[in-house]
Amino acid sequence: MNEMISLENVTKTYKDKTVVDKLSLSVGKGEVFALLGANGAGKTTTIKMILGLAKVSSGNIKIADGTKIGYSPETPYFPPYLTAMEVLSYYAGIEGDKSKKDKSYLKKLLDVTGLEDTKTKVKNYSKGMIQRLALAQALIADPDILILDEPTAGLDALGRKHNLELLESLKKAGKTIIINSHILHDIEAICDRGVIMKKGKVIDTWTNGVSHESLEDKFIRLVGEE
Ligand SMILES: Nc1ncnc2c1ncn2[C@@H]1O[C@H](COP(=O)(O)OP(=O)(O)O)[C@@H](O)[C@H]1O
Ligand SMILES: [Mg+2]
């Protein structure tokens, strides 16, 4: 496996509370990997540590050299008085690569995520549209790895289908994707494998297509029991 990201005994403690507990996992190039678990299991904290947004208390995170990461957060927030295009231009400016500021390049990102280049301001966007914009933003740098925290939350069935198809095509293009999601049906549609977390610990692993038990049944069985 051509390893893109690996975590070794990664632990995160807030005061005396351990929210991620000796987590080890690795994700190979081109894999679509799922972090699963109930609310508060430690999924978002794990992602934040991978991104360097939260400090690791102990353990190691390795990311392949020269890897670019795109990130779509759980609760995206964009300047409310900007249009989608203005938001992307703004983030493209931060990114630093001039070719990424090109209007036709950014327009393409709006297209693939199902948004239109209109004068509508972000403050009038629905939750689903914000989610799409967050995905477009995550794609600006043409990253090797995409980290998506709840990418289909707030989308209706059509929006989810659109996003899943987009993720499928990104996978085909060789991107490595890490997804947190509660929507297990979506996970089964696009993810290769994953881990199920509970109170910061990995309690089981999951590989798509190897079991007769649906992911939802497995999840309820494992996460439900004390
Ligand atoms: N900045 C923080 N300070 C203290 N506790 C936190 C902080 N961020 C997250 N937590 C706690 O860590 C636990 C895991 O949270 P999180 O990683 O967001 O879980 P998930 O994404 O799986 O729902 C929760 O109990 C949450 O309250
Ligand atoms: Mg979360």
* pLDDT tens column, 46-93: 999 999 999 999 999 999 999 999 999 989 999 999 999 999 999 998
114 lines ligand 1 (CB under 6 A): no
- Ligand 1 center from residue 207 Cα (angstroms): 26
Using an 8 Å Cβ cutoff, are 36 and 206 in contact?
yes
Ligand nearest to the CA of 74: 2
CATH topology of domain 1-67+144-226: Rossmann fold (3.40.50)
Using an 8 Å Cβ cutoff, are 12 and 52 in contact?
no
Across 14-23, average pLDDT? 96
Residue 226 has pLDDT above 70, yes or no: no
Residue 154 has pLDDT above 80, yes or no: no
Percent of the chain with pLDDT strictly greater than 90: 79
User: What is the token pair recorded at 184?
Assistant: 């297990």
Rounded Cα–Cα distance for residues 147 and 129 (Å): 18
Task: Please state whether beta strands 176-180 and 193-198 pair in parallel, antiparallel, or not at all (unpaired).
Answer: unpaired
Residue 97 has pLDDT above 80, yes or no: no
19 lines ligand 1 (CB under 6 A): yes
What is the per-residue pLDDT across 191-217, written as a single tens digit (0 to 9) for each?
A: 999 999 999 999 999 999 999 999 999
Q: What is the pLDDT of residue 46?
A: 97
| Atom number of ligand 1 nearest to Cα 46 | 17
50 lines ligand 1 (CB under 6 A): no
Residue 188 has pLDDT above 80, yes or no: yes
2 lines ligand 1 (CB under 6 A): no
| Atom number of ligand 1 nearest to Cα 15 | 4
| Atom number of ligand 1 nearest to Cα 41 | 22
Using an 8 Å Cβ cutoff, are 101 and 89 in contact?
yes
Using an 8 Å Cβ cutoff, are 127 and 77 in contact?
no
Q: What is the DSSP letter of 140?
A: T
- Higher-confidence residue: 203 or 182? 203
- Higher-confidence residue: 20 or 224? 20
**What is the pTM (predicted TM-score) of this model?**
0.94
Provide the mean pLDDT of the chain. Answer: 93
- Residue with structure tokens 């649906």? 214
Using an 8 Å Cβ cutoff, are 121 and 83 in contact?
yes
Using an 8 Å Cβ cutoff, are 188 and 208 in contact?
yes
- Ligand 2 center from residue 149 Cα (angstroms): 7
The answer to which of 12-21, 45-54, 93-102, 151-160 has the lowest mean pLDDT is: 93-102
For ligand 1, atom 24, which residue shows the shortest CA distance? 40
Ligand nearest to the CA of 153: 2
Across 150-160, average pLDDT? 84
